[in-house]
Amino acid sequence: MSDVVIKTEDLVHVYPHGGTRALDGVNLEINKGDVVSIIGQNGSGKTTLVRHFNGLLRPTSGKVYLMGEDTQQKNIADLSRQCGYVFQNPNHQIFCSTVRDELLVAPKNFKFTPEQAKQRLDAVVELMGIGNILDKHPMTLDYTTKKVITIASVLIFNPEVLILDEPTGGLDEVGRRMLSKVIQLVHSEGHTVIIISHDMDYVAENSSRVVMMAKAHILSDSTPDKIFLDADLCKLAQIEPPQISSLDMAISGRQSNVCLSVEDFVKRYAR
Ligand SMILES: Nc1ncnc2c1ncn2[C@@H]1O[C@H](COP(=O)(O)OP(=O)(O)O)[C@@H](O)[C@H]1O
Ligand SMILES: [Mg+2]
């Protein structure tokens, strides 16, 4: 049986300001090594859900367990150390006046030794190819590079779970490819990755499991190909399947194993 990394039990969240019931009894288990995408319309509760994993939000009722421990017993520093959260908007996550200082915020907060901090800094700088901008002011960089910096500033402390909230929004093609590479690498090292996304092409290509949310509930929890084949479900959640999957379904009338990427499609149809 797989190790459960995150588990929610009847999780309810009501925002005190406005009284919105953003989560209404969510039961979810995420296993070690999952690469899971959370999809659903704006306002369906995706961000609210993942913010319970790193302690930014606390349940109104119900439970959240991280590595088997009730998060109610843990402080935000411990939770955010284990669940690294990359914000949707990099401008909300950048505070320092150089990229180097920005990357070193978490190692300082989490009391890494100077040697550990240097070793992790060198590793993420190499991974993300950002050695030439360490002395730059992050706010002078383009949007994709800022996003890369915020991802690096989380990867640097090597969290067990990496949570990316709308990671492809505003990213150019180079950024998208780098992000896919990072997700694969983090996954291959045995970590768990949670991606919130509106970008169905990206979801189909980069995740093995999809959790679909609508109106504060989980509507479905399955593989990308099963989710995108279910036209009624997609309609209910107002999700458009990836164009390449729709094209494959239209041509083949396939009822299972639908193409999830252009690469799949070319392999299947190339003569
Ligand atoms: N800080 C907040 N205060 C009050 N209501 C909020 C807050 N954040 C989100 N909400 C409301 O909670 C619901 C779920 O929001 P959210 O989790 O951000 O959805 P998603 O990430 O799926 O777009 C929405 O109705 C939203 O307006
Ligand atoms: Mg959101």
Domains and CATH numbers, the chain: 4-240 (3.40.50.300), 241-271 (no CATH)
Q: Is 50 in the pocket of ligand 1 (CB under 6 A)?
A: no
Residue among 47, 88, 215 to mutate when testing ligand 1 (max atoms within 8 A of CB): 47
- Cβ contacts of 183-191, under 8 Å, gap ≥ 24: 183/35, 185/127, 186/155, 186/162, 187/33, 187/35, 190/32, 190/33, 191/33, 191/159, 191/160, 191/161, 191/162
- Closest Cα to atom 8, ligand 1: which residue? 48
**Average pLDDT of the chain, as a whole number:** 93
The length of the chain is: 271
Q: Is 22 in the pocket of ligand 1 (CB under 6 A)?
A: yes
pLDDT value at position 60? Answer: 98
When pLDDT is averaged across residues 181-190 and rounded to a whole number, the result is 91
Strand order in the sheet with 69-70: 21-31, 4-14, 61-66, 69-70
Q: Is 169 in the pocket of ligand 1 (CB under 6 A)?
A: no
Q: Is 271 in the pocket of ligand 1 (CB under 6 A)?
A: no
Residue 97 has pLDDT above 50, yes or no: yes
Distance 78 CA to ligand 2 centre (A): 23
When pLDDT is averaged across residues 16-30 and rounded to a whole number, the result is 96
pLDDT value at position 255? Answer: 78
Atom of ligand 1 nearest to the CA of 45: 17
Q: Is 218 in the pocket of ligand 1 (CB under 6 A)?
A: no
Residue 104 has pLDDT above 50, yes or no: yes
Q: Is 45 in the pocket of ligand 1 (CB under 6 A)?
A: yes
160 vs 253: which has the higher pLDDT: 160
pLDDT value at position 138? Answer: 94
Specify the pairing of strand 35-39 against strand 209-214. Answer: parallel
Distance 163 CA to ligand 1 centre (A): 17
Q: Is 168 in the pocket of ligand 1 (CB under 6 A)?
A: no
Distance 197 CA to ligand 2 centre (A): 9
pLDDT value at position 1? Answer: 47
Residue 15 has pLDDT above 70, yes or no: yes
When pLDDT is averaged across residues 3-9 and rounded to a whole number, the result is 97
Q: How far apart are CA 229 and CA 231, in angstroms?
A: 6
Distance 46 CA to ligand 1 centre (A): 8
